[in-house]
């Protein structure tokens, strides 16, 4: 079990370094559920830290589930529904790696009220966050390109569509729960 977990972590590392694709991850619905739980916990921490309430936390997590539903629909439309678990696992695992890297930097940067309050170290941290987000964007596009078997522009469009579904669903659920 430990060696299988280490192999999976090595594959996620390779995925983040553009050496592997989603097909290199194991087919593991349990791992997918575990990553959803870890992601929900990180989302809860961040939203509560930002001053969001429980309704906002629930809405954000339901937005993630809606985006996964959209991903499943895209894969079915492309005739590859069997790729859902590995694709979702790759998207969530790489996303969590970057969340773990970015969240401490965002906590450090904080929310300066005036531009003159931003220190050089905060500006550097913000630049690192921007670079990490571009890197994550590249990984996500590569995952979708491979899974959906589309060219890069199609994968970029699919990623924007998934982000749109996530945000719209989160906003609608937040409004329904009275958190807007």
Q: Is the pLDDT of residue 5 over 90?
A: no
Q: For the segment 23-43, what is each residue's pLDDT rounded down to a tens digit?
A: 999 999 999 999 999 999 998
Mean of all residue pLDDT scores within the chain = 92
Extents of the domains making up the chain: 2-176
DSSP states along the chain: -HHHHHHHHHHHHHHHTTS--GGGS---HHHHHHHHHHHHHHHHHHHHHTT--HHHHHHHHHHHHHHHHHHHHHHHHTT-GGGHHHHHHHHHHHHHHHHHHHHHHHHHH---SSGGG--HHHHHHHHHHHHHHHHHHHHHHHHHHHHHT--HHHHHHHHHHHHHHHHHHHHHHHHHTT--
In tens, the pLDDT along 91-128 reads 999 999 999 999 889 888 877 667 788 888 888 998 99
- In this model, does residue 2 exceed pLDDT 80? no
pLDDT band at residue 137 using 50, 70 and 90 as cut-offs: very high
pLDDT at residue 140, as a whole number: 98
pLDDT at 180 over 60: no
């Amino acid at each position: 079990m430990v060696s299988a977990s280490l192999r999976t972590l090595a594959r996620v590392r390779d995925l983040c370094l553009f050496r592997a694709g989603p097909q290199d991850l194991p087919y593991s619905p349990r791992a997918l559920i575990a990553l959803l739980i870890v992601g929900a916990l990180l989302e809860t921490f961040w939203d509560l830290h930002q001053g969001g309430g429980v309704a906002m936390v629930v809405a954000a997590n339901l937005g993630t589930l809606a985006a996964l539903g959209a991903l499943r629909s895209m894969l079915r439309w492309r005739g590859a529904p069997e790729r859902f678990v590995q694709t979702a696992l790759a998207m969530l695992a790489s996303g969590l790696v970057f969340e773990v890297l970015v969240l401490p930097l965002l906590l450090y940067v904080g929310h300066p009220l005036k531009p003159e309050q931003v220190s050089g170290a905060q500006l550097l941290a913000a630049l690192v966050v921007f670079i990490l987000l571009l890197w994550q964007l590249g990984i996500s596009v590569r995952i979708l390109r491979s899974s959906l078997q589309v060219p890069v522009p199609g994968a970029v469009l699919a990623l924007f569509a998934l982000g749109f579904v996530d945000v719209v669903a989160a906003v609608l659920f937040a409004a329904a729960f009275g958190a807007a």
